[in-house]
Structure 1
Amino acid sequence: MSLMPVAAFPPAAAPGPTSEADSPSVSVLGQILAYQRDAWERSILFCDVLRQRANNMLEHERLGLPPLLKFTFETMLDARRFDQPANYALLRITEIDDACADDCIDRDKPPVVILDPRAGHGPGIGGFKRESEIGMALKEGHPVYFVTFFPEPCEGQTLADVLHALRRFVEAVSGRHPGKPPVLYGNCQAGWAVTLLSADCEGTVGPAVLNGSPLSYWSGESGINPMRLMGGLLGGAWLAEFTADIGDRRFDGAWLAMNFENLNPGNALWDKYTALYADVDTEAARFLDFERWWNGFYSLSHDEIAAIVENLFIGNQIERGVFQICGGCTADLRRIRNPLVIFASYGDNITPPHQALGWIPAVYASTAELKAAGQRIVYLTNPHVGHLGIFVSAGVAKLEHRAILESLDEITALEPGLYEMKIDNPAGEADCHRPQFGVRFEPRLVEELHFPKSANAFEKVREISEINLGLYRTVLAPWIQASANPWSATMLKWLHPMRTSRYLLSEEFAPWMRFFATLAPEISANRHPAPADNPFLKREQRLIGDVSDAFKIYRSRRDLAAEDMFAGIYGPA
């Protein structure tokens, strides 16, 4: 019997000292503690940001809700002093980045007049950061003017008063720049105001740029654009007048802001807050900057909101050519001769391309008719950016808006017809100039613009609205108008949930919020974020995503139910 050499069986390694940090239980415990500390710190910072938002809102109110522009300006005209007063003013941008704007402009370029939407919020969306419509126009060398408005309408103010004020503004700008008709830039609601102004100021204005502007409100896609159905589901225009009446003949813009938030409850109640919580170290400044504008609610007069809802949202009268601006004056889009540039996005669920472009085949039956009218209409679309992104996205400002401004001469020189503007950006960079990106204007046919529109159903909405509005004005309105007063209107204003959900988190109303104000600076100076690969942080992100998906499912089912209800009452939309 032979024995194997001892060397064939190496001795077992002697057990060495075991580090506690290497044991699985201690490793998991460390990850738990790291996540808990990170989550606790983020919670403190998150609550402090909400406290700051509340304080910003109250401060903005105390200052009288001034326009939130990042640029220095001077007031050229104040329409509150006109014979037909309106709560609008014309501003001239005088400074950019501590440099005088006059030193930066090209005298050969036409002035740009930017109008922000008066749809519940205050002015500033066109210039509340440097990379904006105002910023791009200044960087391209254009003299820039901005049309602002004030929180409260003038007594008895009408849409005709507003349009007359805007016309005087255009005349004043034209007078300062002879031979260079101003370029009009209209965002959302201001876009259709610019359209009416173009029809009213034939020959005195240059190209008009309409950004996310609803001119064909009945258009839309089933299951995707439910906002156009709300007028029918609420019984017509009477509710807008009722809301203005309980506000003592003032319509509180917070109601419009609430409608926008209800359109996407997942974002309003969950996504924007979880985005802040997840990245509170980097997102706080952006969140506070936007929320300062979003939470500044402006009012419209009773007559204004009644005309807007009855004629635009319910009656769809702009594209039909029956919109009465004032006695004997009807808006006719066929009178527009200045080139129109329409910017829309398929990611915009408030003003989809259907509503931005659907009026064209309604006004011009064919391409030949459009050419015979001598009109040039250019449109461009973005595949994904949302409604507000059309106005505030820095990437959109640096590419699409810059491309529009750099192409104004080409647009003006186009032969009459319909064109789609294509931007070729091979490098994929947003902040660049031509020829780093190219622009093409591809001819299109009016006959190719086919957008779903059920005129019969919306005609029934208009008829029901007229009946309900007549009943309201006869039966309820006299009693409500007699009982409403400034005290009750102010009480309703400050009890509105769009305000209470914000300002009640200020330490002025909740003294315990001072706790977060005390801790937040210390935590910011000594942060301990959990590593990106922390498993508990990843579980948090999955939970956030799951809740966000649940909101999307709810929203989809709610919108489908609204479609079914509308179809059951009025017919397919």
Structure 2
Amino acid sequence: MAMDGTVTAVKAAASRQEAAACGHGQRERDRAVRGEAPTASVGVAGAPSSGPALSWSDLLEYQRDVWERSVLFWDTLRQRADDMLEHERQGLPPLLDFRSETVLDARTFPHPANYALLRILGPADGTQAVAPDPTKPPVIVVDPRAGHGPGIGGFKQDSEVGMALGEGHPVYFVVFFPEPCRGQTLADVHHALRRFVETVAGRHPGKPPVLYGNCQAGWAVALLSADCCGLVGAAVLNGSPLSYWGGESGVNPMRLAGGLLGGAWLAELAADLGDGRFDGAWLAANFENLKPERAIWEKYARLFTEVDTERERFLQFERWWGGFYFLGREEIAAIVENLFIGNQVEQGVFRICEDCVADLRRVRNPLVVFASEGDDITPPHQALGWIPAVYGSTEALKAAGQRIVYLINPHVGHLGIFVSAAVARHEHRAILASLAEIEALAPGLYEMKIEDGASGEAHRAAGKAAIRFEPRAVEDLRFAPPPREAFERVRAVSETGLALYRAFLKPWVQTASNPWTAELLRWLHPMRTSRYLLSEEFQPWMRLVAAAAAAQVAANRHRARPGNSLLSQERAVVGAVSEAAEAARAFRDAAAEQGFAVLYSRRPGTGWSSAGDDAGR
């Protein structure tokens, strides 16, 4: 009986295959009669086709499209390399899309710093900007000095600078130069920024300037607010960390890097190898290492699949992303040791200079904290966790007379907080349009709510219905407690490692380092070589791509039809590779968390239990 069943099944399968073959042959004959192109089956040998048959015309069309996209893709990378080298020759100027004039240059101060204050005059294309409203305070936008050059806050017209101009504010912009002044410290930078604020306040009597700080500049603005009590208006902190130990499993693996790398000594070693300068390319590399699937695959896959429309956006952003600036040895050592590893800002013990200790409880101007759930550099834990740590309760916040407003975007990434045109038109415009209301709020904690589709313009038209400030309790703003004991051990390990490095290795490194070796290391950095080596100056054959193939393809482009079945398969492959890379990165991060727990937990194998639950908010 079993054998009979098997024979019957085999015969049935053979009959189905024969019928399918006959049907396929009949379909091909019908196609020939109608004059249609023949089809080809694409799939694994011996396996039935899982999708519609692929026509030869689709295949040939897709092959031509891929060839043309490949030419345009490599030509775009060649152009990126040429743009990078040209930007270097120009001295890495700020990439502002606005005309400006220099008001102050801190390099001429008694204690020089590589900062300057610009006044924004209007759009770079020469169009007339909105006339400043004399009743509105000036806005000072401070860009982050975190490896790249300035300009991200005014990268395009739909930006923080553009929104502030559109709202009628006089706008100033703080830029910095590629090279730090010799021996420059955080105190020098802080005092330069304070003088900038005093100058702007003097130009607009009775209108305390609004401070707009992005990322690293946000904590600098917070420290400036504590030191300039009564001199400044509202301060807006965009994606700015103040609680450096905050985070949770799978959200912010960067906070563990100090422990896994042995502390602050590596940053000082890199600065010593750079002849007293820390190459910002290392910071950019750390950023890309957080989500390597984006840096090494998704960014380029998107360019390849959408090269006809993506080229200009890609080149514009990469020109800024590939312009790496330097920090001074004293600056990077203080930042890593006292902020990232020491978490001293939240604790109120960060010493800016001999006579000045940063204490966030001294801040009296209103604070607006803009964070995002999609930010893996500064998650809400790090942007907001300092509030309950500093004030403890709503009553303590009110007793201090302070007003704090927070705004959380549900999905945008770290750079999107400053770069995204949609975020600029929605959140930043709403913040700028609401400054007067924020100043008038009673002391307390508030969450800013923006209705879908609301903006500054909608806010003015619809009034308080478009933008609301809902009271919140500090006690409810609780995140999972960080493993403080583990981070305290990291700090102790860092101090020991730094002392050993300074005692035994540092003198030899400084002896061997000089401007020539520092410049050599600069140009050999992978973040640079991966870009400029595709330039015509290094690869002469790229001139053929630019002069011949790319020009001809652009002039006679043949895109595949959107309905081409191979395009959907291409998208599926791109998505599969992205998912695989993301899974590998998640595994890496989980292994790093476990390794950190084993190294620094009180009881190896217990994870974070000895230092507090890290399960979430």
TM category (shorter chain) comes to over 0.9
Q: How does 1:65-104 map to 2 (within 5 A)?
A: 65-96=92-123, 97-101=125-129, 104=131
For 2:338, which of 274, 287, 311 is the aligned residue?
Answer: 311
- Counterpart residue number, 1:234: 261
- Counterpart residue number, 1:412: 439
Instruction: State the alpha-carbon separation in 2 of the partners of residues 183 and 197 from structure 1.
Output: 12
Residue 153 of structure 2: SS of its match in structure 1? coil
The answer to whether the Cα contact below 8 Å between 1:395 and 1:430 also exists between their aligned partners in 2 is: no
For 1:445, which of 454, 473, 484 is the aligned residue?
Answer: 473
The answer to whether the Cα contact below 8 Å between 2:426 and 2:454 also exists between their aligned partners in 1 is: no
The answer to whether the Cα contact below 8 Å between 2:279 and 2:522 also exists between their aligned partners in 1 is: yes
CA deviation string 1:373-396 (max 9, x = no partner): 000000000000000000011110
Alignment-mate amino acid for residue 435 of structure 2: L
Of 223-232 and 183-192, more deviation after overlay is shown by 223-232
Q: How does 1:383-402 map to 2 (within 5 A)?
A: 383-402=410-429
Instruction: State the alpha-carbon separation in 2 of the partners of residues 246 and 120 from structure 1.
Output: 17
Alignment-mate amino acid for residue 215 of structure 2: C
CA deviation string 1:310-364 (max 9, x = no partner): 0100000000000010113100111100000000000000100000000111110
Go from structure 1 to structure 2 and tell me whether the alpha carbon gap of 1:428 and 1:474 turns closer, same or farther (over 3 Å shift): same
TM-score (norm 1): 0.95
Go from structure 1 to structure 2 and tell me whether the alpha carbon gap of 1:202 and 1:285 turns closer, same or farther (over 3 Å shift): same
- Counterpart residue number, 1:552: 582
The answer to whether the Cα contact below 8 Å between 1:153 and 1:299 also exists between their aligned partners in 2 is: yes
Instruction: State the alpha-carbon separation in 1 of the partners of residues 100 and 176 from structure 2.
Output: 14
Runs of 4+ residues over 4 Å off in structure 1: 427-433
Instruction: State the alpha-carbon separation in 2 of the partners of residues 424 and 520 from structure 1.
Output: 46
CA deviation string 1:420-466 (max 9, x = no partner): 001112x5789855335711111111111111212111111101111
Go from structure 1 to structure 2 and tell me whether the alpha carbon gap of 1:30 and 1:377 turns closer, same or farther (over 3 Å shift): same
The answer to whether the Cα contact below 8 Å between 1:378 and 1:420 also exists between their aligned partners in 2 is: yes
For 1:325, which of 349, 352, 369 is the aligned residue?
Answer: 352
Instruction: State the alpha-carbon separation in 2 of the partners of residues 212 and 495 from structure 1.
Output: 31
TM-score (norm 2): 0.88
The answer to whether the Cα contact below 8 Å between 2:185 and 2:331 also exists between their aligned partners in 1 is: yes
For 1:220, which of 232, 237, 247 is the aligned residue?
Answer: 247
Instruction: State the alpha-carbon separation in 2 of the partners of residues 73 and 546 from structure 1.
Output: 46
The answer to whether the Cα contact below 8 Å between 1:46 and 1:277 also exists between their aligned partners in 2 is: yes
Go from structure 1 to structure 2 and tell me whether the alpha carbon gap of 1:517 and 1:432 turns closer, same or farther (over 3 Å shift): farther
Instruction: State the alpha-carbon separation in 1 of the partners of residues 295 and 382 from structure 2.
Output: 24
The answer to whether the Cα contact below 8 Å between 1:238 and 1:472 also exists between their aligned partners in 2 is: yes
Determine if the alignment matches structure 1 residue 434 to structure 2 residue 460: yes
Residue 73 of structure 1: SS of its match in structure 2? strand
Aligned sequence identity (%): 67
Q: How does 1:144-543 map to 2 (within 5 A)?
A: 144-425=171-452, 427=453, 432-435=458-461, 438-452=466-480, 453-518=482-547, 519-543=549-573
The answer to whether the Cα contact below 8 Å between 2:458 and 2:466 also exists between their aligned partners in 1 is: no
Of 216-225 and 379-388, more deviation after overlay is shown by 216-225
Q: CA RMSD in A?
A: 1.5
Residue 272 of structure 2: SS of its match in structure 1? helix
Alignment-mate amino acid for residue 449 of structure 1: L
Instruction: State the alpha-carbon separation in 2 of the partners of residues 20 and 503 from structure 1.
Output: 51
Determine if the alignment matches structure 1 residue 51 to structure 2 residue 78: yes
Please list every run of 5 or more consecutive structure 2 residues that lacks an aligned counterpart in the other structure: 1-29, 41-52, 602-606, 609-617
- Counterpart residue number, 2:24: none
Alignment-mate amino acid for residue 476 of structure 1: L
Instruction: State the alpha-carbon separation in 1 of the partners of residues 154 and 31 from structure 2.
Output: 67
Of 26-35 and 466-475, more deviation after overlay is shown by 26-35
Instruction: State the alpha-carbon separation in 1 of the partners of residues 486 and 455 from structure 2.
Output: 45
CA deviation string 1:267-294 (max 9, x = no partner): 0000000001000000000000000000
Residue 319 of structure 1: SS of its match in structure 2? helix
Instruction: State the alpha-carbon separation in 2 of the partners of residues 35 and 433 from structure 1.
Output: 48
Of 492-501 and 416-425, more deviation after overlay is shown by 416-425
For 1:570, which of 600, 614, 617 is the aligned residue?
Answer: 600
Instruction: State the alpha-carbon separation in 1 of the partners of residues 412 and 131 from structure 2.
Output: 31
CA deviation string 1:123-162 (max 9, x = no partner): 0110111100000000111000000000000010000000
Instruction: State the alpha-carbon separation in 2 of the partners of residues 17 and 229 from structure 1.
Output: 66
1:221 positional shift: 1.0
The answer to whether the Cα contact below 8 Å between 2:391 and 2:397 also exists between their aligned partners in 1 is: yes
Residue 471 of structure 1: SS of its match in structure 2? helix
Residue 387 of structure 1: SS of its match in structure 2? coil
Instruction: State the alpha-carbon separation in 2 of the partners of residues 126 and 277 from structure 1.
Output: 28
Alignment-mate amino acid for residue 435 of structure 1: A
Instruction: State the alpha-carbon separation in 2 of the partners of residues 429 and 35 from structure 1.
Output: 43
1:70 positional shift: 0.4
Go from structure 1 to structure 2 and tell me whether the alpha carbon gap of 1:274 and 1:203 turns closer, same or farther (over 3 Å shift): same
1:218 positional shift: 0.1
The answer to whether the Cα contact below 8 Å between 2:341 and 2:491 also exists between their aligned partners in 1 is: yes
CA deviation string 1:174-201 (max 9, x = no partner): 0110000000000000000000100011
Go from structure 1 to structure 2 and tell me whether the alpha carbon gap of 1:227 and 1:144 turns closer, same or farther (over 3 Å shift): same
The answer to whether the Cα contact below 8 Å between 1:398 and 1:431 also exists between their aligned partners in 2 is: no
Instruction: State the alpha-carbon separation in 2 of the partners of residues 535 and 432 from structure 1.
Output: 43
Of 136-145 and 448-457, more deviation after overlay is shown by 448-457
- Counterpart residue number, 1:18: 33
Residue 21 of structure 1: SS of its match in structure 2? coil
Alignment-mate amino acid for residue 186 of structure 1: G
1:23 positional shift: 3.6
1:22 positional shift: 4.5
Alignment-mate amino acid for residue 327 of structure 2: L
Q: How many residues align?
A: 557
